[in-house]
Structures are given as structure tokens and as C-alpha cells.
Amino acid sequence: MKEIKPQQMSRNVFDAIGKDWMLVAAEADGRANAMTASWGGMGVLWNKCVAFVFIRPQRFTKTLIDKADTLSLSFFADDERAMLTYMGRTSGRDEDKLAKQNLIYSSVDGAPVFDRAKMTLVCRKLYRQTLTKDGFFDQSLIKLNYPNGDLHDVYVVEIEKVLVGE
């Protein structure tokens, strides 16, 4: 993989996250795990190139993210949809999802980087906050997206490296 600057990314973030999905991955206590995500974004905050992702409290990957300093956001080719679906529906508490999907990774600055990814953002955590019901101006979003009351934690992460397949 080759490293580029965040400003050199050419992929449309709305397609990459919302339509094509991404894997959010972290490694802690000698174990790595990843989950599919389709909510998040990228931009500039605090004079840094950042990404933000939303993770529900019950996700196993969240326990690793909370212990680690870094995490990765990985984007894959269109033919990886079945793998991304599996990674979003299966819990890492129950099995080694990475092994089951033959997701081989190396650790870059403490974050998993998958060999099959077309692009990976290696990120350092900057901020985490749990969404609150009283923060929603449009209260219908709560009923629509949180029928079980399990509001996401939002993580703001600094994009430290962008790795793209050659």
C-alpha cells in the first residue's frame, strides 16, 4: 500500500461511507475485530483532518476501540459486499470474524490494516461522546433509529495516514 495525504483522497465520502460502507477496526489485548459501518463522515475540525463514526454501545468492536489509541477505517471493492454484510451482522464476541472471512491484516501504528482494502485510514482517537435524546432537534429520529434506546457513541478521530492499494 502507498501512503497519500488526506487531501489527495479522490473517493466521494457519501458513496464510500453511506453507500459502499466501511469496516471500523481496532486492536487491543492481543485481539483485533472489525464491524461494518455506514454512518459517519470526514472533514476538518480543530485544524485537523478528521473522520467521525457512530458506534452503538453493545458492539464488541467498541470495547476494543475504547481500549486502543488508534483505529482504522477501511474501504473495499464492490465485490466485497457479502463480507461487509457478514461483518455487520455477526458479533466478534461469538467468533473470530476476521479469520472466518479470511481478512488478513497487519498492524500499522496499532490499528488493523487489511490487505484486501482499497483504502484504509489509520486514525487516532480525539473525542467520544454519547448522543443524548435531548440533543435531537428532530425527535422523530429517535423513534426511527433508536427504538431500543441504544444511542450511538460518536468518535471524532484524526486521520493520521491514508493508505491506498497500488
- Looking at residue 166, its pLDDT comes to 74
C-alpha 164/C-alpha 119 separation (Å) is 4
pLDDT of residue 139: 96
pLDDT score, position 113: 98
22 band by pLDDT with thresholds 50, 70 and 90: very high
Who contacts 34 (Cβ-Cβ below 8 Å, separation ≥6)? Answer: 23, 24, 25, 26, 61, 74, 87, 92, 97, 98, 103, 112, 114
pLDDT in tens, 31-70: 999 999 999 999 999 999 999 999 999 999 999 999 999 9
The arithmetic mean of pLDDT across residues 125-151, rounded, is 97
For residue 132, pLDDT over 80 is answered with yes
pLDDT tens sequence across 139-149: 999 999 999 99
**CB-count exposure of residue 61 (10 Å: 0-12, 13-18, 19+):** buried
pTM exceeds 0.85 for this model:
yes
Quick check: 126 pLDDT over 90? Answer: yes
